[in-house]
Chain A
Amino acid sequence: MQLTNRSKQVSNKQMTFAERIYLPAIATGLGITIKHFFQKKVTIQYPEVKQFLGPVFRGRHVLKRDEQGRERCTACGLCAVACPAEAISMVAAEREKGEEKLYREEKYAAVYEINMLRCIFCGLCEEACPKQAIYLRHDEFVPVFTERDQVIWGKDLLAENMNNRYLRKAWTKEEAREQDLKGVEAEPRTQL
């Protein structure tokens, strides 16, 4: 049935004599594979060589702290709502006197847990966060687990380590776009 005038017949089932006797096509095929035999291999030797995963890769979560090391999270719960896997849970608490060094906002997450096996790394929590608190690291994965009871990560694992801070080129996509337009060199996709 012809519905449009853009159709194009593509399949030709008539074989020529050369095709009929198998050998030329086989020889071509063998030629292609032997060519690849001597070509450079594309394999990345993974555990030793690590590849850069792109500036916006959605890896493991981190609860950012600000410059003074205070937690940014204010336990608003937007990330938990935005999570399609319902993997995030938190308990909010009021900041007490003397805790200003620990928490930036007046409310903070006393408990912040992510079920790492439920998480689908969709990035919606990062997008939902109004406080620049939760990020998905572009340079690290969640490690593998051997026990089911290791999988719920609390703040001890999620909160950023001040000695080994998580850095990234741009913290929002607008920022990334500005830098991109300015021509800030993108990180090369090679070894990490």
Chain B
Amino acid sequence: MTQDIKIVEAPEGYEGSGFFATSFDKVVGLARSHSLWPLPFATSCCGIEFMSTMASRYDLARFGSERPSFSPRQADMLLVAGTIAKKMAPILKQVYLQMAEPRWVIAIGACASSGGIFDTYSVLQGIDRVIPVDVYVPGCPPRPEQILEGIMQVRELTHNESLRRRNGPEYQALLASYNIQ
């Protein structure tokens, strides 16, 4: 490995002789950002590109995210890759509901983000109609690089998120706006 890769940096904190103190939030955020287990909700073309992302050349494993958890309980981020038809929307929502907090959602590709070219009677015009979305990845389908960008964006969010955010009123209000208790 000749290239320098960016590995984890110690979180900000106070360092003294023989001690190092940092906030708990930061450590947890750091740990979470390095262990985001994806739940691939792959329905169509973008799913194939997600496979490429998982495959050898792009290797999602580098970020500690190679363990796909097909059980929503164990997953940290929901990767919605592909068209979500209106028939599928309730199922998507249910999967989201089944996920344990903290959970993040990435909409991969034009179809999941906005419906893309399928502005039709049967296609949901963006999954943000049914569940809150943290990151949108444009492209149809996005290249694996872009999917990685999206995942890195989620890592950024994870890293900086306060431990209490999920109990906060803002988050509750966001969920309430989607009729999720």
Contact = CB atoms under 8 A, between A and B. Distances in A.
Direct A/B contact, Cβ within 8 angstroms: yes
A48 B5 contact: yes
Contact of A115 (B114, B135, B149, B152): B114
Highest count of chain A CB atoms <10 Å: which of B57, B114, B134, B143: B114
B117 A120 contact: yes
Contact of B57 (A43, A116, A141, A143): A43
Interface residues of B, number: 37
Question: DSSP majority for the A interface?
Answer: loop
B58 interface: yes
A144 B136 contact: yes
Given A43-B62, A143-B149, A144-B135, A118 B143 contact: no
A155 to B, nearest CB: 18
Nearest to B56: A42
Interface in A27-48: 41-48
B113 A117 contact: yes
Question: DSSP majority for the B interface?
Answer: loop
B25 interface: no
Nearest to A45: B5
Nearest to B134: A146
B3 interface: yes
Contact of A41 (B56, B126, B133, B140): B56
A44 B136 contact: no
B83 to A, nearest CB: 12
Given A119-B138, A119-B140, A47 B148 contact: yes
B112 to A, nearest CB: 9
A121 interface: yes
Contacts of B142: 141
Nearest to B111: A120
A104 to B, nearest CB: 29
B58 A43 contact: yes
Contacts of B116: 85, 117-118, 120
B3 A49 contact: yes
Given A48-B5, A144-B150, A120 B135 contact: no
B101 interface: no
Interface of A: 41-51, 53, 84-86, 115-122, 141-146, 148, 151
23 contacts: A41-B56, A42-B56, A42-B57, A48-B4, A50-B145, A51-B145, A53-B143, A115-B114, A116-B138, A117-B110, A117-B114, A117-B116, A117-B136, A118-B110, A118-B114, A119-B110, A121-B140, A141-B142, A143-B149, A146-B134, A146-B135, A151-B113, A151-B114
The 7 closest A-B pairs by CB, nearest first: A120-B140, A117-B114, A85-B117, A145-B136, A117-B113, A43-B59, A142-B138
Given A145-B138, A146-B153, 14 more contacts: A42-B56, A43-B56, A43-B59, A48-B3, A85-B110, A85-B116, A85-B117, A117-B116, A118-B110, A118-B115, A120-B140, A141-B149, A144-B153, A146-B134
